[in-house]
Structure 1
Amino acid sequence: MVSKKSNTSKRCTAEFKRDAVALALSSEKTVTEVARDLGVSPEGLRGWVKQAKIDRGEGPAGALTTAEREELVRLRRKVREPSTCARASATGFSLGTRGLGVLIPGCGPLGWL
């Protein structure tokens, strides 16, 4: 059911979340009652149900699916990481190699320092 992330927070497995959503959608009980039975917060279970509906195409227009959210996170991380070109350029400028015609592989037509 739950995998430990840290001392203070608990993370539920994807399988547990999927089963909890299925139970919440098929049960005669309220989401709050199902959440209490499973030992999770009602807000968390509501979020899982909402995301499951979005993933099935039943959400509001413009809502991101789980796959789209994961891709966005990956791309944001990539943007935050300095590229090879940026690191090489910064190193080149700090070492005074500007203008020596150093080609940085993979940096395209602007790969010359």
Structure 2
Amino acid sequence: MAKFSLRRFDTQAQASVLLSLLSVVSLAALAFFVMGRMSFSEFTPYYGGNRRMAILGAGVVTLLLSGAGFGFGLNSAGQRRNDKQQLSWLGFFVGAIVLALALVMLVLFAVRGEAVIQ
């Protein structure tokens, strides 16, 4: 079998951690876009121009990366042939936390977001 094959559980564990860490970077970008123009007294994120598409794009990328990291971690954790159990669990939990936070931010933006007309 090839050195990098996603059928191997240790490779899935490494991919899980990599994707979950990339999703943390994407979550930081999403948080910057959502919280950058947020009025905390009104608890309302304001957006205008292309910011809405940037927020939705960062949200989709974050959900895809964290979902893949979560899935690979879930699939490879607990397997007997996996030599890297710690990486599986790390990718699983980081992916789950980022997935939940991204959903919260996207729901906040969808429910409370206000367009600014210039």
TM over 0.5: no
Q: Higher Cα Rg: structure 1 or 2?
A: 1
Name the structure with the higher helix share.
2
